[in-house]
Structure 1
Amino acid sequence: MKNDKDKKQISRRDFLKVMGAAGAAAAGMTACGSGGGSSRQSANSEVPAGSMTYRDLTGDTVSLLGYGCMRWPMKPSADGKSETVDQERVNELVDYAIAHGVNYFDTSPLYCQGFSEEATGIALDRHPRDKYFIATKLSNQRLYGSGLRGKALEEASIGMYREPFERLRTDYIDYYLFHILGMGNGLEEMRGRVYDSGMADFLMKEREAGRIRKLGFSFHGDVRVFDYMLQESGIPWDFVQIQLNYSDWRHATGINVNAEYLYGELAKRRIPAVIMEPLLGGRLSKVHDHVVTKLKQREPDRSVASWAFRFAGSFPDVLTVLSGMTYMEHLQDNLRTYSPLQPLTQEEFAFLQETAELMAQYPTVPCNECQYCMPCPYGIDIPGVLLHYNKCVNEGNILASGRDTRYREARRAFLVGYDRSVPKLRQANHCIGCNQCVSHCPQSIDIPAELHRIDDYVESLKQETL
């Protein structure tokens, strides 16, 4: 049920129970009465306006495509020593998204090295406040991790809560969340951050006062925390944010929980689900070449990513599906998928489960490029290293033996690509195993172990000892 690896095909009855109202919901909730159209469009077709699919599950009419503000485009800072948000490009993306029906924007004090809320607020403030919903989070996990407890944690957390109002240029937050509950020490950490700090009572009072309109939490990790928050927390949740995609539906890795269980528990309580990581940090748009061929044989005109977005959006109790769209082409592709949504058929759902089983055979590292592990105190580009490795896995350029007929080609592709994508001073060989990154990873990756494994592979390629 929870992390069960049962790979049986979903039955028609189970499918209809889970997906049943999705088609009707999508048709009935699409703007301008255009719910009956097809979203089967070429990746280069015109982006439709006025046909976004909406969900009305919280009393708000929310776009099925939500903007995740974790991955705003960055540019070098004025001193050339770091990066800052490229505000001009953010404004362009936000303007385009709103013009095409997107009205839910999700940020956090931690995103984009702490710059996301400010950048999001600047971009949104150029539009009428009633044209969009703002979601942000109480990201006090690092306050807890630094040793703050009780009253000290409460004061610091209240300070963290108050800061976004100015950065987001608003006097109320539409959707406010306790951030990534379930991480760290599980139940103990959750109780410290939520209850012992007094923040549960504080935020419920803020909701009563109208400074928070909807209260929820986002979940990663220990399923006991998820169950406690739904069954015993004493908090009437307006929504819950979970990781859901066709790979994690039944094949969640590490301490993550199968989305089939998470969504099912929310649906039976009629708690709307906000979906994060529908693409697994982009991994479901950068799948193995064999998987790409399989998807393209069925739908040549659809992007690989669109399959994942259709999967996440097809469930009727999903309020919105977040996507961290750094580039205009990502935004446009997702708009095509949800303008309007064409829900999955039973047969397509089964096909994606077969695809997930195929993908599970490839040894990629489950990095979602969330950047929570950054900055590394030793300057390592952790996501860059892991993503290059995954890219080579997907392209068939990770080999077990130097005797492989493709050895020379694969060796060159890995080493040349590694130096091009990750500067030498930021590569895996500089990891000393300090473990600072491990507790911040929502996918529970043993990052130092993976970096050392990748570095060993690199050295074997360089020395030709594979």
Structure 2
Amino acid sequence: METNNKNRIDRREFLRRLGVGAAAVSAAALPACAPKGGAERRGAAAGAIPTDRMTCRTNPSTGDRVSLLGYGCMRWPTVKGSGEIDQEEVNRLVDYALEHGVNYFDTSPAYCKGLSERATGIALKRHPRDRYFIATKLSNFAPATWSREASMEMYRTSFRELQTDHIDYMLLHAVGMGSGMREFEARYIDNGMLDFLVEERRAGRIRNLGFSYHGDVAVFDRLLAEHDKYRWDFVQIQLNYVDWRHAKEVNPRNTDAEYLYGELAARGIPAVVMEPLLGGRLSKVHDHIALKLRQRRPEASVASWAFRFAGSLPGVQTVLSGMTYMEHLQDNLRTCAPLEPLTDDDLVFLEETAQALLRYPTIPCTACKYCMPCPYGLDIPGTLRHFNKCINEGRMPASLQDPAYRRLRREFLIGYDRSVPRLRQANRCIGCGECVHHCPQRIDIPAQMQRIDRFVEDLKQGREF
């Protein structure tokens, strides 16, 4: 995998470079949780979904047999019109996931406006505790929560909300974001919280301790350099077939997943994957790219390619997906129960796909909503989502000379007004920068809002852009 020849990706070299041998290659292909017997899976997108074929990986620290597909609890369904979490639907999704082999549930005090842990706890409490693993985070982003007292209260609240006496997987949340090293030290070192969490692991109230990484790679490198001191049981990273080698092309502040994963694999630290779909963009690729994906594997969804990419890495313990709807859960189950690893040709094909996607400059927003609420009432994710959607669907007016310009101009402007109320659109941004500090992708949101506002004004005035 020489960096000057990105199309020549051999699967054995792909895995060898990450420090794994033939035995691991074979193990990656096995449905590790499946009991002997059981019907073989036929077709990735049709037929009954097996309940006994989920591919699992073993955590070396605790021996946990963790489902390759993990449930990300950041986007629980809401009751239409109210914005409140639909607990009945959450229960139904959790029941179905458990029935089909999913046993890893990832939440945070910051998700769903602070209500994700409670909803997740209610749904899981209805099942035996040994059937699932709970992952949550010390999400002390705001300076007001950096004190030891505030961070301790957040930690204790997680136990109450989740209705549990132990956390299976506890994370320092999004290290490297904001001001990087200085912010990391304020959140976890100066207040003694990291040392406290290590002691909690020793006492058994935490079973596995790790961190999720966004932003300043110096923080990631420091924590891995201190692995002997802290003994990280797992690390959560952003990994997908675009970010694998092109993260900086998506966002200059990001780090290639190839490097992050390689550093973890070299130390034998399991990786938990977040953003396998790059904020949903790899399930909603440009039409001409989607056509190629479907032609190559007609029975599979577009999204399945991204999950197979992440799952084919043997050092990946679980791949998280925020599955709001039953159809998303069912599609991902078909991909992971069991996983069919990528071939050499598949890897070449996905690298070509990644390069094709990069020719269309979308904004790297993952719709995590950490930027909200905006103090001036803007709908930041909604604005970025509409802009990206028009690019991804090939419905972006290119120039005044484009024969379809008038139609595309009208569709963009009408769609913008329907998606985002006018008083919450990009032209209301004053550039205060409050949102930038909270963005895990470290997007210069004011600059992007100005970019979109200029584009909208050019369309309204019929000017060239």
TM-score range with shorter-chain normalisation? over 0.9
**Cα offset, 1:28, TM superposition:** 5.3
Q: How big is each residue's C-alpha offset from its partner over 1:26-83, in whole Å with a ceiling of 9 and x where there is no partner?
A: 31514123699456422x4322221111111231011100000011112367xx5xx2
Hey, what does 1:368 align to over in structure 2?
366
Alpha-carbon spacing, 1:222–1:5, altered in 2? closer, same or farther (3 Å)? farther
Hey, what does 1:336 align to over in structure 2?
334
Contact 1:278 1:322 in 2 (8 A): yes
Contact 2:136 2:171 in 1 (8 A): yes
Answer yes or no: is 1:225 the counterpart of 2:219.
yes
From 167, 172, 178, the counterpart of 2:161 = 167
Contact 1:66 1:321 in 2 (8 A): yes
Hey, what does 1:210 align to over in structure 2?
204
1:14 maps to amino acid: E
Matches of 1:35 and 1:188, distance apart in 2:
52
Alpha-carbon spacing, 1:91–1:385, altered in 2? closer, same or farther (3 Å)? same
Matches of 1:70 and 1:101, distance apart in 2:
20
Hey, what does 2:258 align to over in structure 1?
260
1:192 maps to amino acid: A
Contact 1:254 1:444 in 2 (8 A): no
From 12, 15, 35, the counterpart of 1:32 = 35
Matches of 1:53 and 1:447, distance apart in 2:
39
Contact 2:138 2:170 in 1 (8 A): yes
Alpha-carbon spacing, 1:7–1:367, altered in 2? closer, same or farther (3 Å)? same
Matches of 1:187 and 1:5, distance apart in 2:
32
Hey, what does 2:68 align to over in structure 1?
64
1:134 maps to amino acid: I
Matches of 1:98 and 1:123, distance apart in 2:
11
Q: Name whichever of 238-247 and 401-410 sits farther off.
A: 401-410
Alpha-carbon spacing, 1:284–1:12, altered in 2? closer, same or farther (3 Å)? closer
Hey, what does 2:309 align to over in structure 1?
311
Answer yes or no: is 1:352 the counterpart of 2:355.
no
**Cα offset, 1:254, TM superposition:** 2.6
Matches of 2:444 and 2:305, distance apart in 1:
29
Contact 2:107 2:136 in 1 (8 A): yes
Unaligned runs of 5+ in 2: none
Number of aligned residue pairs: give it: 453
Answer yes or no: is 1:191 the counterpart of 2:152.
no
2:411 maps to amino acid: A
Matches of 1:426 and 1:341, distance apart in 2:
43
Alpha carbon RMSD of aligned pairs, Å? 1.9
Alpha-carbon spacing, 1:420–1:48, altered in 2? closer, same or farther (3 Å)? farther
SS of residue paired to 1:257: coil
Hey, what does 2:106 align to over in structure 1?
106
1:74 maps to amino acid: T
SS of residue paired to 2:84: strand
Matches of 1:285 and 1:431, distance apart in 2:
30
Alpha-carbon spacing, 1:6–1:425, altered in 2? closer, same or farther (3 Å)? farther
Contact 2:398 2:405 in 1 (8 A): no
TM normalised by structure 1 equals 0.93
Contact 1:67 1:322 in 2 (8 A): yes
TM normalised by structure 2 equals 0.93
Matches of 1:367 and 1:49, distance apart in 2:
34
Hey, what does 2:236 align to over in structure 1?
241
Matches of 2:325 and 2:356, distance apart in 1:
29
SS of residue paired to 1:465: coil
Alpha-carbon spacing, 1:348–1:34, altered in 2? closer, same or farther (3 Å)? farther
Contact 1:278 1:312 in 2 (8 A): yes
1:180 maps to amino acid: A
**Identity value in percent:** 63
Q: Name whichever of 181-190 and 329-338 sits farther off.
A: 181-190
Contact 2:7 2:348 in 1 (8 A): no
Hey, what does 2:170 align to over in structure 1?
176
**Cα offset, 1:11, TM superposition:** 4.1
Hey, what does 2:55 align to over in structure 1?
53
Unaligned runs of 5+ in 1: none
SS of residue paired to 1:24: helix
SS of residue paired to 1:275: strand
Answer yes or no: is 1:270 the counterpart of 2:268.
yes
Answer yes or no: is 1:137 the counterpart of 2:137.
yes
Alpha-carbon spacing, 1:432–1:76, altered in 2? closer, same or farther (3 Å)? farther
Matches of 2:293 and 2:49, distance apart in 1:
22
Matches of 1:368 and 1:14, distance apart in 2:
31
Alpha-carbon spacing, 1:11–1:46, altered in 2? closer, same or farther (3 Å)? closer
